[in-house]
A and B are shown apart, each in its own frame.
Chain A
Amino acid sequence: MAESTLAERMRPYRVLLASRARAQMQYRASFVTDILGTIGVGLAEFAEVWVIFHNVDVLGGLDFTGALLVFALSNVAFALADMLVGHLDQMPRYIRAGQVDAFYVRPLPLLTQLMTSDLSLRRVGRLSVALVALAVALTTADIAWSPATALLVVLTIISGTAIFAALFTAAGGLQFFLVDGAEFTNAFTYGGSYAAQQSQQVFPDPLRIFWTFVIPTAFVAYLPAVAILDLDDPLAPTWLAWCTPLAALLAWGLAALSWRLGTRHYQGAGG
């Protein structure tokens, strides 16, 4: 067993994910409706940015293209994280239904089982809105393209997804304590995503520090966007944009801690 290759160890997860994906596509009409729904959610989020720029030309140091880039980067990352691990939001339901115990008796780690227990394909709707916004922002903005810029875009999307996934996981860990107060964690998962969409210049300094070093959502979109567009913000130097993977590591450190505490605290559903 110790000799098993990575591919072999990944096999159960592949099978699980494939079955989840197939299950969702069984009811075609319902699946299409859900996708249209998440497209609608994405468009409604975009409408907020668009309506503000209908009234002003510059917001928090960003023009419309800049704001669109921040919106797009954060939404791509959030939609990806939501698709992969967003169902950790359902932890209280799993805990109440005793489903967590069912996961525990299987010979795979709890967290990876939970992560692969669902794959919310319907969220491709929101992802596609975000990707279109990203394509428009990257082509219309005045960007001095270089290999480094392209690398930064890719790095940002990967790290941003990791940061939001870490927030969902941290929230999942806290659910073991909260159960009825599940909505507490929305404050930093959905609240963090909302903060990530904004130009950080709208926040007073203490809040900027909070969204950079405590819950690092500034790294998801704003800090990289400033570097990509070569804007002037003394609190967002270019080198900080390249620290995005470090922020993801920090977020995952917190997530791991929260998850550990949560699972240690869990006593079973009494079955």
Chain B
Amino acid sequence: MTPFWILTRAGFRRHSTYRLALLAGMTTNSVFGVIRALLLLAALASAGSDIGGYDAPTAVAFVWWGQALLGTVNLWGFQEVKDRVRTGDIAIDFLRPVNPQLAYLAGDLGRAGINLVGRGAPAILLGGLLFDMAWPPGAASWVSGAVSVVLAVVVAFSGNFTVNLLAFWLVEIRGIYLMWMITGGLLCGLYLPVPWFPNWLRTIAEWSPFPSMLQIPIDILAGRVVGAEIIATMATQVFWATALLVLGQVVLRAGRRRLEVQGG
């Protein structure tokens, strides 16, 4: 077995220890799912027509896939590396025979896996039970949707990882991290679909990596994006995944040269 696969499995098992926490997370996601779905349905009823390509079942799917994938795609929670840089523990990561970025990516993919199974799947089933929800329109949507979710996990991870690495240069990156979280939360399509935004905000969102973290997989799974368009949106994800992974490597190398660990 390759180290990458072993680390992925370790990440999966590490996060599957806290089963009650998974159930608790799913409960909260579902409460938000119910409220936001009703809110969007009320908005659609008030508009009397589709908004931005979403009819009622697609809008419900948008909300519930968003809540289901919230635990899978790590939009906010990743601050481990920042603390390791500050304490100097990152030096130990450099000593290991695996590239730190890939090692953390493997762990994060494992974490995403258990969250998808333990938290996302029950949430989406509940959403389908409670509401008239659009399911993926065909096998192609299921398969490309699944790949798109993996890509979303990679984009979110590599973005977060790079932000964490700024701790090599700044003692406290809390401010930058907050900015990243707030902008990301708004532009990734968690609260409302990006196509509902006013044009200027939509343009900003579409030029940012954030929709690749949530909006794109949701749109494929909700069936708003189909056919050849799927390939185009996933190409955007592949671009951001590659760009952010490469950027992360560059920053990691620069940080490694800068790192100075006391004592030992």
- Chain A: residues with CB nearer than 8 A to chain B? 29-30, 33-34, 36-37, 40-41, 43-44, 47-48, 51-52, 54-60, 178, 180-184, 186-188, 190-191, 194-195, 198-199, 201-204, 207
The reply to whether B46 and A57 contact each other, CB–CB distance below 8 Å, is yes
Which stretch of B144-152, B179-187, B214-222, B245-253 is in the interface? B179-187
Q: How distant is A199 from chain B, measured CB to nearest CB, in Å?
A: 8
A37 and B182 form a contact (CB under 8 A): yes
Are A36 and B191 within 8 A (Cβ)? no
Contact B24 A184 (CB under 8 A): yes
> Would A184 and B35 count as touching, CB distance under 8 A?
no
Separation in Å of the A5 CB from the closest CB of chain B? 42
B99 contacts the other chain (Cβ, under 8 Å)? no
Distance in angstroms between the alpha carbons of A195 and B36 in the assembled complex: 9
B263 within 8 Å of A (CB atoms): no
**Contact: A48 with B192, CB < 8 Å?**
yes
- A183 CA / B22 CA spacing, docked (Å): 9
Contact present for B18 and A51 (CB under 8 Å): no
Do B21 and A33 touch across chains, with their CB atoms under 8 A apart? no
B18:A180 contact, CB within 8 angstroms:
yes
Interface residues of chain B, those whose CB is within 8 Å of chain A, are 18, 20-21, 23-25, 27-28, 30-32, 34-36, 38-39, 41-43, 46-47, 51-52, 172, 174-175, 178-179, 182, 185-186, 191-192, 196-198, 201
Tell whether, in the assembled complex, residue A44 and residue B27 are in contact, meaning their CB atoms are under 8 Å apart. Answer: no
User: Which of A30, A44, A182 touches B174 (beta carbons < 8 Å)?
Assistant: A30
Bound-state CA distance A202–B172 (Å) is 43
Q: Are B196 and A54 in contact (CB under 8 A)?
A: yes
Q: From A202, which residue of chain B is reached at the shortest CB distance?
A: B42
Report if A56-B18 is in contact (Cβ < 8 Å); known contacts: A33-B174, A187-B28, A198-B35.
Answer: no
Nearest 6 Cβ contacts at the A-B interface: A33-B175, A37-B178, A183-B24, A191-B31, A181-B20, A202-B42
Partner of B32, one of A36, A194, A199: A194
Given A54-B198, A202-B38, the answer on whether A178 and B43 have CB atoms closer than 8 Å is: no
B122 to chain A minimum Cβ distance, whole angstroms, is: 14
CB of A178 within 8 A of CB of B196, answer: no
Evaluate whether A55 and B172 lie within 8 angstroms (CB atoms) in the complex, with A47-B191, A191-B31 already known: no
Looking across the interface, which residue of chain B has its beta carbon closest to that of A203?
B38
In the docked arrangement, what's the CA distance between A33 and B32, Å?
Answer: 28
Q: How far is the CB of A101 from chain B (nearest CB, A)?
A: 23
- Residues of B with C-beta under 8 A to A48: 191-192
Cβ distance B176 to chain A, nearest Cβ, rounded Å: 9
Q: Which residues of B contact A41 (CB under 8 A)?
A: 182
What's the Cα separation between A57 and B47 when bound, in Å? 8
Docked-complex contact A56 and B47, CB < 8 angstroms: yes
Residue from A37, A56, A191 in contact with B28 in the complex, judged by beta carbons closer than 8 Å: A191
Q: Considering the chains assembled together, what is the distance between the CA atoms of A54 and B18 in angstroms?
A: 41
Quick check: A51 and B198 within 8 Å, CB to CB? Answer: yes
A residues less than 8 Å from B175 (CB atoms)? 33, 36-37
Bound form: Cα–Cα A51–B38 in Å: 16
- Which residues of chain B are near A195, meaning CB under 8 Å? 35
**Could you list 26 examples of A-B contacts with CB < 8 Å?**
A33-B174, A37-B182, A41-B182, A44-B182, A44-B185, A48-B191, A51-B192, A51-B196, A52-B39, A52-B192, A55-B52, A55-B196, A58-B46, A59-B39, A59-B42, A178-B20, A180-B18, A181-B21, A187-B27, A187-B31, A194-B35, A194-B36, A195-B35, A198-B39, A202-B39, A204-B38
